[in-house]
Amino acid sequence: MDEFVIKGGNKLSGSISVNGAKNSALKILAASILSKEKCKITNFPIIEDTLRTVELLESLGAKAVIDKENKIVEIDPSQINKTDLDTNLVRRLRSSILFAGPMLARFGEVQMDHPGGCIIGKRPVDFFLDGFEKLGAKIKFTEEGFKLHGKLKGATIFFPQITVTGTEAMMMAAVLAEGKTILQNCAMEPEIPVLAEYLNKCGAKISGAGTSTIEIEGVKEIGGGEFKVIPDRIETGTFVMMGLLTGSEIKVENCIPEHLGAVISILEKAGAKLEIGPDYIITKPSKLKAVSIVTHEYPGFVTDLQPPYTLLMTQADGPCIIHESIFEGRLFFTDQLATMGAEIIMCDPHRVVVHGPTPLHGKKMTSPDLRAGITLVLAGMIAEGTTRIENIYQVDRGYEKIEERLQKIGADIKRVKE
Ligand code: EPU
């Protein structure tokens, strides 16, 4: 297994470009199942999660052509001839649950294991199963997962809690259901309206995506289409915090600052000097003071940026509370920051108190999940001495060739093959 070896203390300079959003590309790949025609995706992030999802499509009989250099993937879903999803891939990918709706809608059945993925909380699938049942599917539980079958009919579904992939899954399933579906208490993340826009271009009838109520008028079939993946707002925020952590002036390019409203306002409140353009953010060396946060569904402070923000607060002046309201396992990585010298006290699984500023020292650590993993990389970049990070598959799941991109702006980071 590869590891990252990082020597801390370097100032960064220059520009870093943001790639296509993982959490948008994954949904378009799943949506491709709804049609018999080809789907072309550009600005496609070449990362473990998207590549494994393409493999999952191929394992069902779809044809895929990936042009890694130009970041284009073309899916031909016309030959899909299986409805049970590959156990190994499903166990690796939480987002494989997104295949259930389109498979059910197009083929009337799907069988899969309980999906795996990031260990950041319980991550059940009850909202999905309840939603599919409301749309008319029958559920049979198997030893390791479940089987869904039946012809889908429009229904009204109220999500008991806001769920991003739950909203997307029901929206996709309803596209081919008979009649009208109304989804209430929907997630509003930017990846949802762009998914709806793509599906509408292919012939679906969806309105309201990006608000809390979405209406879908079922159609008999949809065609193929082309989709350009939007910039990754989580990569954007991570790079901005990296600039602030290292006290560097860097330009984070090809992003949509508008998608990070809450994060930018908190960073500015903490004293961050940012120059914000239409598609870039420039960080300036800034003296930071501590500001507490509560993570929240969009447009609130996104949970995926809680780990790097927690690290940032170890370098800010004063105490603050980080309240992770979405996932109950997403603060445990702070133990590793504490071993590096951070002053962090866990109140309960959802809250830690951080008291900065504290110098950090290099350590040998293991990346527990994707967003905590990249945070440990950033911690290594500001720590005194050498940091080694194992289990970097977790970082590769979401950040493409991260070491090469960080080296280009001045970081001392190497991938070492064991
Ligand atoms: N939940 C349930 N039952 C369900 C579904 C969700 O109880 O059936 C709970 C979850 O346990 C959680 C809450 O509802 O407490 C909200 O979770 P949500 O369903 O919104 O999360 P998700 O759709 O599984 C997506 C992203 C995550 C991101 C969250 C929150 C994708 C593929 N994943 O997950 O991204 O953290 O929304 O914004 O879009 C990441 O990229 O690192 C990542 C984890």
Predicted local confidence at residue 92, as pLDDT = 85
Q: Is 118 a catalytic residue?
A: yes
pTM > 0.75: yes or no: yes
Confidence of residue 170 (pLDDT cuts 50, 70, 90): very high
Report pLDDT digits (tens) over 330-377: 999 999 999 999 999 999 999 999 999 999 999 999 999 999 999 999
Cβ < 6 Å from ligand 1: which residues?
A: 22-23, 26, 94-95, 118, 121-128, 161, 163-166, 187, 303-304, 326-327, 370-371
Residue to mutate, 165, 168, 328, ligand 1, most ligand atoms under 8 Å from C-beta? 165
Q: Which atom of ligand 1 is nearest to the CA of 125?
A: 8
- Mean of pLDDT values over 249-253: 98
* Alpha carbon of 165 to ligand 1 centroid (Å): 6
Q: Whose CA is nearest to atom 37 of ligand 1?
A: 164
Q: Which atom of ligand 1 is nearest to the CA of 298?
A: 38
> Tokens 């809680």 — which residue?
306
Q: E-assigned strands of 115-212?
A: 138-141, 145-149, 156-158, 180-184, 205-207
* Alpha carbon of 297 to ligand 1 centroid (Å): 10
Options 39, 118, 202, 255, the catalytic residue? 118
| Dihedral sign from CA coordinates of 159, 163, 166, 172 | positive
Q: Which atom of ligand 1 is nearest to the CA of 49?
A: 32
* Alpha carbon of 303 to ligand 1 centroid (Å): 9
165: left (phi > 0), else alpha (psi -120 to 50), else beta? alpha
- Mean of pLDDT values over 186-211: 98
State whether residue 353 is helix, strand or coil: strand
- Mean of pLDDT values over 31-49: 97
* Alpha carbon of 332 to ligand 1 centroid (Å): 17
Q: 64 forms bridges with which residues in the sheet?
A: 75
Report pLDDT digits (tens) over 44-83: 999 999 999 999 999 999 999 999 999 999 999 999 999 9
Q: Cβ(358)–Cβ(384) under 8 Å?
A: no
Q: Quick one: tokens of 13?
A: 């300079």
Confidence of residue 123 (pLDDT cuts 50, 70, 90): confident
Predicted local confidence at residue 32, as pLDDT = 98
Q: Which atom of ligand 1 is nearest to the CA of 117?
A: 44
State whether residue 131 is helix, strand or coil: helix
Predicted local confidence at residue 119, as pLDDT = 64
- Say whether pLDDT at 289 is over 90: yes
